[in-house]
Structure formats: C-alpha cells, structure tokens
C-alpha cells in the first residue's frame, strides 16, 4: 500500500505509540482487501457502545489512546447505549458502561448515542467518504445519502476515527456500487421492513436495485436496517429514488446478473400466525425518529395497552417527544418511552422468546422473536381492533 509521508510518520510512532498501532491496523486491514491507499474521511461512527463487563481488551485499547491524549480527527458519533440502567441484570452485565462512556468522551466522540446518527448528529453528503460501523447506518449513508463507507467493525471504526483515514476498497469505489440484482415488486400492502428482510436473505452481499416505489424516509431506514441484518448488504438502490439510480439503465452495467420478484405472499409469510403469544411488543430498531414516533403515538392516544409495549427513540427525538402532550397520552396508555438499543436490553433480560416486533433487524437478532407488521403489533397490544 502506498502511504503519504505524514501517514508514514504516524506509522513510525512519531505521533505516539497508540496512533501508530491504529495506523498499522488500518494498513493491514486495507492490504487484506487489496486497498492501494488510505483516504481521508469526512466522519466516523462507532458501534462499540455497549459497556459489557467482559470487553476488557476493548477497554484496554481505548485506555491506551486516552492515556496518550489522542482525540478523534473527524466528527465521530456513537451508537445507542444498551439499556445499562434498565434493570438490575443489565446494570451488572453492563457494568463497564461508565468506564466506556468516559473513554469515548475523552476521545472527543459525540455522545448522540443513536444508530440513526444521520438524522441530525452526523449528516454526510453525496460522495463523502466515511468510516462508519453499524450496518443500518452504513446502509442508509451509502444508499439514501449517496455517501461511501464500508461495513467496518468495532475497533476498525476507532482506528479510522483517530487517524481520519480509511483504506480505499469496497463501497468506496465506483465499480462496487453498481447494481447486480434487480428486484421486482408485486405488492399491494407495502411492509418495507419485511421487504428489506427478504431482500437481505436473497441478495446476500450483492447490490440490489428495487424497481420504482415511493418509499418514505422512515421506510427507507427500516427497510435498510432489516436488509443489512438478514444479509451482508451495505448498499441498495431504488429506481428513480436513490441518488445513484436515476433509472435502471444507469445503475446496471448492461443486464442485471439476476432478477427476483417479491410478492405480497412473500411479505405476509414473514408475519407470525400467533401474534397473541407475545408478552411484550417492541417498536424502534433502528431507533425511531421524532416524526415516526408522532405518527405511531397517535394510534395509542386515548387507548390502553394490554401488555408491555416499548418505544425506542433516538435520544434527541425522545427529549423532544417528552415535551409534547401526545407523549403524556402515550405514557398514560401504558407505553414505555426509551432511548437505548432494544436488542441488548431485552436479550439480557431473557424476554426474547416473548417479543413481537415490526423491526426486521430486531427480529433477526433477538432469538425467538416473532415478526409482525405494524398493524399486527398494534392489534396485539390492544390499540387497534
Ligand atoms: Fe440500532 Fe440497536 Fe437496532 S443499534 S439498529 S436499535 S439493534
């Protein structure tokens, strides 16, 4: 790999031992994927925000960076916290949270604590190069905003944040952003999260191009999160909607490698036949935006839930929502309004077998969870006939 003189100097430990190790890690990472160089990034996003007490090696590395006074070189945001104060079990399992939060703060990481960082805290533009972790955020940045990032792992994300660099390979390069799989739709009741889940399973790591459909921003978020969980997809295009896909001719190099059709029956097959088995209903993975929350909350106003029901919001959206009269009505209906990642909180509580969710990502990762459309979930918690 060809390095710039200042990159060579960091590698030689002239800026300290920890930055040198970070640079060395990026160089080896890049070499293993055939990258020819390191390129500057506009921003970072870190996925390692769960203070699991066992993550001793992770804390050790962060401690080394902090001890040498290293700071992030670019705007760097952070994923949700894991519900460390949710209950006693979580407090014990996540007993490293305070320590971890302290390290991230000392490094200069923005404490937005959301996987939907692109909503307000970290909004990249078309063509910006990034080094983000968190597959749902990577997916949105690549697909909807037209920015360029690979699906980086925890610690690689830190190395990029403190050097301001990422190896140039994968989704940073034009040739890997072209469409490969054409997805046709025969759907009369759209369920974007279910669609994302099915596309993820079928596309695996190919770039899917979905034929024209007027998805809104919330659907794009939820569909992308599900697709990135059920498959290794980090970029999708929608004909005439997403920035790199004005039409099918421009997004493919010639003909698609493969064409699939997803039908209403495919979407419906993902929905559980026994939604009433759920002991808890969970909305918000990726976390809900303010507008998404308001839209959903209106369905709960003046009603009462018949089982525990959780809303998981972006922390900033939660702050704003808490100040509204609608929030008071939702809480009166029996809903818990939260701002952490549902996955960690519920997994640690071992309630996973009893969860019903309209999130394809939560369904994929939380063992034993059932999937339901938003209406299935509203019926199950008793606010819709
Ligand atoms: Fe976000 Fe946690 Fe879901 S990080 S996408 S809320 S699993």
Q: At which of 217, 238, 269 does a domain end? A: 269
Q: Is 115 in the pocket of ligand 1 (CB under 6 A)?
A: yes
The reply to whether 37 and 156 lie within a common domain is yes
Residue 54: partners with Cβ closer than 8 Å, 6 or more residues away:
none
Q: State which ligand 1 atom lies nearest to the alpha carbon of 343.
A: 7
Q: How far apart are CA 358 and CA 190, in angstroms?
A: 13
Q: Is 361 in the pocket of ligand 1 (CB under 6 A)?
A: yes
Q: 228 lies in a domain?
A: yes
Ligand 1 centroid to Cα of residue 33, in Å, is: 27
Q: 51 lies in a domain?
A: yes
The reply to whether 91 and 66 lie within a common domain is yes
Q: How far apart are CA 90 and CA 83, in angstroms?
A: 7
Q: 242 lies in a domain?
A: yes
User: What pLDDT does residue 255 have?
Assistant: 96
Q: Mean pLDDT for each consecutive 10-residue tract of the chain (385 residues)?
A: 96 94 98 98 98 94 97 98 85 93 98 98 98 98 98 98 98 98 98 98 97 98 98 97 97 97 98 95 97 98 96 98 98 97 72 83 91 98 97
CATH code at position 291? 3.30.499.10
User: What pLDDT does residue 83 have?
Assistant: 87
The reply to whether 259 and 284 lie within a common domain is no
DSSP 174: G
Q: Is 79 in the pocket of ligand 1 (CB under 6 A)?
A: yes
The reply to whether 22 and 165 lie within a common domain is yes
- Count how many domains the chain has: 3
Question: What are the distances in angstroms from CA 160 to CA 34, 66, 109, 152, 167?
Answer: 17, 15, 13, 9, 9
Q: State which ligand 1 atom lies nearest to the alpha carbon of 135.
A: 5
The reply to whether 165 and 291 lie within a common domain is no
Residue nearest to atom 7 of ligand 1 (CA): 343
Residue nearest to atom 2 of ligand 1 (CA): 341
Q: 163 lies in a domain?
A: yes
The reply to whether 226 and 285 lie within a common domain is no
User: What pLDDT does residue 87 have?
Assistant: 80
Which of 137, 140, 343, 367 for a ligand 1 pocket mutation test, highest count of atoms within 8 Å of Cβ?
343
Ligand 1 centroid to Cα of residue 15, in Å, is: 35
Which of 80, 117, 369 for a ligand 1 pocket mutation test, highest count of atoms within 8 Å of Cβ?
80
Which of 218, 286, 345, 357 for a ligand 1 pocket mutation test, highest count of atoms within 8 Å of Cβ?
286
Q: How far apart are CA 48 and CA 46, in angstroms?
A: 6
User: What pLDDT does residue 89 have?
Assistant: 83
Q: 385 lies in a domain?
A: no
Q: How crowded is residue 162: how many other Cβ atoms within 10 Å of its Cβ?
A: 27
Q: At which of 128, 153, 174 does a domain end? A: 174
Range of the domain at 210: 178-269
Q: How far apart are CA 44 and CA 129, in angstroms?
A: 10
The reply to whether 73 and 152 lie within a common domain is yes
Q: 284 lies in a domain?
A: yes
The reply to whether 145 and 203 lie within a common domain is no
Q: What is the 3-state secondary structure (H, E, C) of 1-30?
A: CECCHHHHHHHCCCCCHHHHHHHHHHHHHH
The reply to whether 258 and 149 lie within a common domain is no
Q: How crowded is residue 306: how many other Cβ atoms within 10 Å of its Cβ?
A: 13
The reply to whether 246 and 317 lie within a common domain is no
The reply to whether 132 and 254 lie within a common domain is no
Q: Is 285 in the pocket of ligand 1 (CB under 6 A)?
A: yes
User: What pLDDT does residue 104 have?
Assistant: 98
Q: At which of 252, 269, 286 does a domain end? A: 269
The reply to whether 164 and 199 lie within a common domain is no
């Amino acid at each position: 790999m060809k390095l710039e003189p200042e990159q060579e100097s960091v590698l030689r430990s002239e800026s300290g031992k920890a930055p040198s190790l970070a640079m060395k890690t990026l160089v080896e990472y890049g070499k293993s994927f055939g990258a020819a160089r390191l390129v500057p990034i506009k921003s970072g996003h870190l996925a390692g925000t769960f203070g699991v007490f066992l993550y001793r090696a992770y804390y050790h590395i962060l401690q080394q960076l902090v001890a040498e006074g290293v700071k992030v070189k670019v705007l760097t945001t952070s994923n949700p916290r894991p519900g460390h104060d949710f209950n006693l079990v979580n407090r014990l399992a996540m007993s490293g949270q305070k320590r971890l939060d302290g390290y991230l703060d000392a490094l200069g990481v923005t404490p937005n604590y959301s996987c939907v960082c692109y909503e307000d805290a970290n909004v990249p533009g078309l063509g910006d190069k990034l080094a983000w972790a968190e597959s749902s955020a990577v997916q949105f940045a690549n697909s909807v905003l037209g920015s360029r990032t690979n699906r980086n792992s925890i610690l690689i994300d830190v190395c990029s944040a403190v050097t301001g660099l990422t190896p140039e390979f994968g989704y940073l390069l034009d040739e890997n952003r072209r469409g490969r799989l054409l997805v046709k739709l025969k759907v009369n009741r759209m369920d974007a999260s279910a669609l994302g889940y099915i596309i993820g399973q079928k596309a695996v790591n190919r770039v899917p191009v979905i034929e024209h459909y007027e998805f809104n921003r919330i659907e794009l978020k939820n569909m992308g999160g599900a697709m990135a969980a059920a498959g290794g997809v980090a970029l999708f295009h929608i004909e005439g909607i997403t920035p790199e896909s004005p039409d099918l001719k421009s997004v493919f190099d010639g003909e698609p490698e493969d064409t699939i059709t997803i039908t209403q029956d495919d979407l419906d097959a993902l929905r559980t036949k026994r939604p009433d088995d759920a002991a808890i209903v969970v909305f918000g993975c990726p976390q809900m935006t303010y507008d998404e929350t308001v839209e959903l909350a209106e369905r709960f106003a003046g009603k009462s839930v018949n089982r525990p029901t959780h809303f998981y919001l972006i922390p900033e959206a939660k702050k704003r929502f808490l100040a509204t009269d609608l929030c008071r009505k939702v809480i009166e209906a029996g809903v818990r309004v939260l701002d952490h990642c549902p996955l960690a909180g519920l997994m640690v509580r071992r309630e996973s077998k009893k969860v019903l969710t309209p999130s394809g990502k939560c369904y994929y990762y939380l063992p034993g969870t059932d999937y339901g459309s938003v209406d299935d979930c509203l019926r199950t918690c008793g606010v819709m006939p």
